[in-house]
Chain A
Amino acid sequence: MHPAFSVIFFTTASGAGYGLWIWLGLLAAGNALPARAPSLFALGLGFVCVTAGLLSSTLHLGQPLRAWRAFSQWRSSWLSREGIVALLCFVPMMWLGAAIWFGYHARIAGLALALLSLLTVVCTAMIYASLKPVPAWRHPLVVPVYLLFALFTGGLLLAAILSLAGLSPGNMTGFAAMIVAALLWRLKRYAWRSIDQGELPVSRASALGLPAGRSIKVFERPHTEGNYLTREMGFVLARKHARKLRVIAVLLFALVPALCALPVWLFVHLDAAPFFLAAALSALAGTFVERWLFFAEAKHLVTLYY
């Protein structure tokens, strides 16, 4: 599939933003919010990530001004559901922001923000996981991996903000970050392996209505130049460089953050700020590469005809 920059940026940035909101919402729900300034800053950073992502995904549309129509088909369409939940998130976000500003507790707003943010990420992943013609996206790990990336990048951002404000999130946060980094690496390795092993579940014979077992080769394409389908679904660049890009992605989203988190865990009195900041930025870059591969490596069944 063609990896559209706007969609990759959207899933990476808004994933981190929603992840940030999930952690912040959970802290608010547990009455464990840190001081006012870093809480507001974290909420605001989440707002910037989410809004930038949503705007970027709107720019990918052919008719962005009609985007409001996408709120109507929630009964059948995951894209519509995502749009609605994404917008709903802003209600508890503003409520929580006001609560922090005026200094009173907002446990319900926090819980609502965490739940709606979680739902948005699930909806985003389901848009892809529900597409039968793209077998690589039907993998059962697609939704959990999307969620874990959101929690990981959002969590690292929150940890970086807290430690920059002089509030140590605790050395066990470093340990947790290492565990999640390792888990992400394992899950992605598993998903990539099944992409490598998996032949397309449908044969060309089935696509042409012929009995199975006969070898069918393309003799002549319907058109001498490309068309929308070959441009959108028949992307080959990533499959050519898949190996290298996978290594780069793992280095950035798992190894570098884990190495940054190690001293935070080991040395209790260390200033964790630069380590968490580096881990968060690296994880975001790694998520971007991983997302690029997620699109570019996925093979659409229409390629059976070409």
Chain B
Amino acid sequence: MTDLPPPSARKLGLVIDLDTCVGCHACAVACKEWNSGGISGPLTDENPYGKDPLGVWFNRVHSYEVEALDDQPAMTLHFPRSCLHCETPACVSVCPTGASYKRAEDGIVLVDEDKCIGCKLCSWACPYGAREYSEVEGVMKKCTLCVDRIYNENIPEASRQPACVQACPTRARHFGDLGDPGSAVSLLVAARGGVDLMPELGYTPVNQYLPPRPRRAGSSLPASAPQETLDEQQLPPLLRWLDRALSR
């Protein structure tokens, strides 16, 4: 049933640090690599080596230019976007077939691709653009939070986390139980003031984003590059003559 299960105690999700993300796209690439062979694989591409390639990715890293404000200098913001495994995911409740579901035990939102009819309504219901349709297979695809990794007893325990988290070179991505207030990720969110994306829509995302830390006060920074001045009297005679000749 696409009725939502009662809120689970365990809420597995990601915490993404916008302060440390450098926009290298390693998460996106690692995700594509793992999930191409994972339970939701293949992540199909259309025309992959042609003129206008197009394909399914579960991670998209956007880059924005944030203009200066008061004492905050202008900055580049790298923003990795993926499924937020919402607590009230409209993508699940609009599904007519029961292919989309939210797991009662850990809150992961998944698609059963054998039941999906490819009506695309779930992708319309998601404001975060988390779902991408596979034209090749005729079914909807989405982030699985690497459900085939995090519970996988055949891989070393240290590797039992989503591929994107493992790949991140700046440790901007953290995985854990956001339903447990004592977990490392919950403490991180509390310490850094983690936020929901588009909270006004009421989807209550599980994933949290840590906003960039405030930059050093702009007033203490020099307003512009120091003025270059030249004291001709200090120059040796030859250079003084050269300066005069070139200044003419």
**In the complex, what distance in Å separates the CA atom of A214 from the CA atom of B75?**
11
A301 at the A/B interface (Cβ < 8 Å)?
yes
State whether the Cβ of B104 lies closer than 8 Å to any Cβ in chain A: no
Q: Which B residues lie within 8 Å of A208 (CB)?
A: 18, 64, 77, 79, 197, 209
With A and B bound together, what is the CA distance between A83 and B97 in angstroms? Answer: 11
| Mask of A204-222 contacts with B, CB within 8 angstroms, 1/0 | 0011111101111111111
Which of the candidate stretches A43-51, A57-65, A188-196 sits at the interface with the other chain?
A57-65
Provide the bound-state CA to CA distance between A233 and B198, in Å.
18
Nearest neighbor of A137 in chain B, beta-carbon distance: B124
Chain A residues within 8 Å of B146, by CB:
none
Contact between chains at A220 and B63 (CB < 8 Å): yes
Is A227's CB under 8 angstroms from B97's CB? no
Q: Does B239 contact A (CB under 8 A)?
A: no
A176 CB → nearest B CB, Å: 36
> A218-B62, A229-B129 are known contacts. Are A79 and B119 too (CB-CB below 8 A)?
yes
Cβ-defined partner of B117 (8 Å) among A62, A206, A215, A229: A62
* Measured CA separation A230–B134 after assembly (Å): 14
Interface SS of A by simple majority:
loop
Q: In the assembly, what is the distance between CA of A300 and CA of B126, in Å?
A: 9
Contact A73–B98 (Cβ < 8 Å)? yes
Q: Indicate whether B2 reaches chain A with its CB closer than 8 angstroms.
A: yes
Determine whether the beta carbon of A232 is less than 8 Å from that of B66.
no
Cβ-based interface call for B232 (8 A):
no
**Cα–Cα, bound, A215→B77 (Å):** 12
A72 to chain B, nearest CB (A): 5
Q: Which of A71, A73, A209 has the most CB of B within 10 A?
A: A209
* Docked CA distance A73–B198 (Å): 27
The answer to whether A61 touches B64 (Cβ under 8 A) is no
Q: Is the CB of A132 within 8 A of B117?
A: no
The answer to whether B132 touches A215, judged by C-beta atoms less than 8 angstroms apart, is no
CB of A197 closer than 8 Å to a CB of B: no
B34 interfacial contact with A, CB 8 Å:
no
**B64 & A209 in contact (Cβ 8 Å cutoff):** no
Which of B2, B95, B123, B134 is the one whose CB lies under 8 Å from A232? B123
Interface size on A, residues (CB 8 A): 57
Chain B residues contacting A301 (CB-CB under 8 Å) are 127, 198, 201
User: Which chain A residues border B81 with CB–CB below 8 Å?
Assistant: 222, 305
Which residue in chain A gives the minimum CB-CB distance to B16?
A: A209
Indicate whether A141 reaches chain B with its CB closer than 8 angstroms.
no
> Interface stretch among B52-60, B161-169, B220-228?
B52-60
Per the bound structure, the CA–CA distance linking A66 and B138 in Å amounts to 11
Find out whether the CB atom of A75 lies under 8 angstroms from the CB atom of B57: no
Q: How many residues of B contact A (CB 8 A)?
A: 70
Residue of A nearest to B209 (CB): A209
Query: In the bound complex, do residue A302 and residue B54 qualify as a contact, i.e. CB atoms below 8 Å apart?
Result: no
Q: Is B116's CB within 8 Å of the partner chain A? A: yes
Q: Hey, which chain B residues are within 8 Å of A62, CB to CB? A: 116-120, 133-135, 137-140
Whether A302 pairs with B129 at a CB distance below 8 angstroms is yes
A269 at the interface (CB under 8 A from B): no
* Residue with the greatest number of chain A CB neighbours at <10 A, chosen from B60, B96, B117, B121: B96
Residue of A at shortest CB range from B141? A228
Q: How far is the CA of A219 from the CA of B129 in the complex (A)?
A: 19
Kindly state whether residue A121 has any CB partner on chain B within 8 Å: no
- Distance (whole angstroms) from the CB of A2 to the closest CB of chain B: 9
Q: Write out the residue numbers on chain B whose beta carbons fall within 8 Å of the beta carbon of A214.
A: 66-67, 69, 72
Q: Shortest beta-carbon distance, A154 to chain B, in Å?
A: 25
Instruction: Kindly report which residue of chain A lies nearest to residue B212, judged by CB atoms.
Output: A210
Q: How far is the CA of A301 from the CA of B212 in the complex (A)?
A: 23
Contact check, B60 vs A206: say whether CB atoms are below 8 A apart. Answer: no
Chain B min CB distance to A214 (Å): 5
B66 CB contact (under 8 Å) in A73, A210, A220:
A210
Question: CA A69 – CA B116 in complex, angstroms?
Answer: 9
Verify A222–B62 contact, CB threshold 8 A: yes
Q: Are B197 and A209 in contact (CB under 8 A)?
A: yes
B128: Cβ under 8 A from any A Cβ: yes
Give the docked Cα–Cα distance between A211 and B118 (Å). 37
Determine if B93 is an interface residue (Cβ-Cβ < 8 Å). Answer: yes
* Residue from the set B72, B94, B134 with the largest chain A CB neighbour count within 10 Å: B94
A217 CA / B72 CA spacing, docked (Å): 16
With A202-B198, A232-B133: A70-B124 Cβ-Cβ less than 8 Å: no
Q: Is the CB of B211 within 8 A of A217?
A: no
- Chain A residues within 8 Å of B, Cβ to Cβ: 1, 60-64, 66-67, 69-73, 75-80, 83, 127, 130-134, 201-202, 206-211, 213-223, 225-229, 231-233, 300-302, 305
**A-B contacts, 30 listed (Cβ < 8 Å):** A61-B118, A61-B119, A62-B116, A62-B117, A62-B138, A63-B116, A63-B117, A64-B117, A72-B97, A73-B95, A75-B2, A76-B92, A131-B124, A133-B90, A202-B127, A208-B77, A209-B209, A210-B66, A210-B212, A214-B72, A216-B66, A218-B65, A220-B63, A222-B60, A223-B57, A225-B52, A228-B132, A231-B54, A300-B124, A305-B62
